[in-house]
């Protein structure tokens, strides 16, 4: 009886261990074995080439490979999604311009966490366009003129002002008007503004449909290669869901690598989240797609903002830039 009892206890223990192991296996299989704290993310995204990696990752099932399900919510301006990000209704914003969000961080509107770099400035991917018959030929000709930007005091005016100064132009003599990118072509055509500082894919589309011409290369020195947009969250999100944030970052950087190595990847997804056709997608100028989160690169943005008076003091990038612990 004593031996039979021992066998029963041993058998029961083995069954319990097997049951627990099976339970753990089910949990791991649902999130790719990563132990993610949160598996479904809502990402607000702009219809810009800056956010192409998000859609490449979705198409190539890179999120799924990390155990993530990503729901994409289209927005016209990244700043529109800022309140939702602060409240937690949106987990990440794709294509967010750094200027607006670094300013919000300084004001205390939200504690910013940059999860991944999204795009860096290349020559002719964000230009100042004018009508074909416009008298504006050079940067100097913009003095006294109205120029459309997506958001006031954002990455566009910051970079354009740096270019203007480098060409001995007084930026204070240029009047910026806030107009969302999709509405810029109509504003230029109607004469509501003299020029539009417009980004791809709207840039090439406007040139094709209206015959607009480039007055200023918005990616020229001294801002060539400058980080302009990224994937941003809050510090509350990345501290509460560090493994989830790391998984999202890995998927994005893999997608950025695919976009860098083969532009066809970007051309394929652009018509799915922008209003441009395949023909325009095949000729547009793409930004740089960084495959890492680099402190030195981001410091350029901070320094430029500080010198322009857009930041009162430089934030601690070790706090702002999300770095996985493992």
- On whether both 252 and 202 belong to a single domain, the answer is no
Rounded to whole angstroms, how far apart are CA atoms 111 and 322? 12
Do residues 298 and 163 both lie within one domain? no
Q: Which of 216, 235, 270 is the last residue before a domain boundary?
A: 216
Q: Tell me the pLDDT tens digit for each residue of 47-103.
A: 889 999 999 999 999 999 999 999 999 988 787 888 999 999 999 999 998 999 999
Are 135 and 210 in the same domain?
yes
Residue 267 and residue 303 share a domain: yes
* Residue 303, domain member (yes or no): yes
The answer as to whether 248 is a domain residue is yes
Last residue of a domain, one of 182, 216, 250: 216
User: Is residue 200 located within the same domain as residue 259?
Assistant: no
One domain, residues 176 and 194: yes
pLDDT value, residue 2: 41
Does one domain contain both 258 and 303? yes
Separation CA 99–CA 126 (nearest Å): 16
pLDDT tens figures, 17-50: 343 333 333 333 344 456 999 999 999 998 889 9
Specify whether 109 is located in the same domain as 244. Answer: yes
Among 73-87, 141-155, 206-220, 233-247, name the one with the lowest average pLDDT.
73-87
Mean pLDDT (the chain, rounded) = 89
The token pair at 255 is 């997608």
- Whether the pLDDT of residue 183 is over 90: the answer is yes
Q: Is residue 65 part of a domain?
A: yes
Residue 292 and residue 252 share a domain: yes
- One domain, residues 112 and 136: no
Do 132 and 113 reside in the same domain of the chain?
Answer: no
Residue at 26 is within a domain: no
8-state DSSP, 125: S
| CATH code for the domain in which residue 177 is found | 3.40.190.10
Query: Is 20 within a domain?
Result: no
Structural domain contains residue 299: yes
Are the C-beta atoms of 101 and 302 separated by less than 8 Å?
A: no
The mean pLDDT of 181-200, rounded to a whole number, is: 96
Q: Does residue 135 lie within any of the structural domains?
A: yes
End residue of a domain, out of 216, 242, 277: 216
Whole-model pTM above 0.85? no
Q: In which domain, by residue range, is 53 found?
A: 40-120+225-320
Q: What is the pLDDT of residues 227-277, one digit of tens each?
A: 999 999 999 999 999 999 999 999 999 999 999 999 999 999 999 998 888
Q: Is residue 18 part of a domain?
A: no
How many domains, the chain? 2
- Co-location of 152 and 75 in the same domain: no
């Amino acid at each position: 009886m004593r031996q039979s009892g021992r066998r029963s206890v041993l058998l029961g223990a083995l069954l319990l261990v097997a049951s627990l192991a099976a339970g753990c296996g089910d949990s791991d299989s649902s999130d790719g074995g990563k132990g993610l704290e949160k598996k479904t993310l809502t990402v607000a995204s702009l219809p810009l080439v800056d956010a192409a990696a998000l859609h490449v990752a979705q198409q190539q099932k890179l999120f799924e490979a990390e155990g993530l399900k990503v729901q994409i919510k289209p927005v016209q301006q990244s700043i529109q999604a800022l309140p939702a990000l602060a409240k937690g209704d949106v987990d990440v914003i794709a294509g967010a311009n750094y200027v607006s969000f670094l300013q919000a961080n300084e004001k205390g509107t939200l504690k910013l966490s940059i999860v991944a770099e999204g795009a860096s400035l290349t020559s002719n991917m964000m230009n100042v366009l004018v009508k074909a018959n416009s008298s504006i030929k050079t940067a100097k000709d913009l003095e006294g003129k109205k120029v459309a930007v997506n958001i006031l005091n954002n990455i566009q005016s910051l970079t354009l002002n740096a270019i203007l100064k480098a060409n001995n132009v007084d930026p204070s003599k240029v009047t910026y008007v806030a107009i969302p990118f999709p509405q810029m072509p109509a504003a230029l055509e109607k004469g509501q503004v003299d020029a539009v500082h417009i980004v791809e894919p709207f840039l090439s589309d406007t040139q094709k449909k209206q015959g607009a011409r480039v007055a200023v290369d918005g990616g020229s020195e001294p801002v060539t290669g400058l980080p302009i947009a990224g994937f941003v969250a809050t510090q509350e999100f990345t501290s509460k869901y560090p493994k989830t944030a790391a998984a999202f970052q890995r998927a994005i950087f893999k997608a950025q690598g695919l976009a860098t190595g083969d532009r066809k990847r970007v051309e394929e997804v652009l018509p799915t989240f922008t209003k441009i056709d395949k023909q325009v997608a095949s000729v547009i100028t793409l930004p740089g797609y960084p495959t890492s989160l680099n402190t030195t690169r981001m410091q350029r943005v901070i320094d430029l903002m500080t010198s322009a008076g857009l930041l009162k003091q430089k934030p601690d990038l070790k706090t702002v830039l999300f770095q996985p612990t493992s």
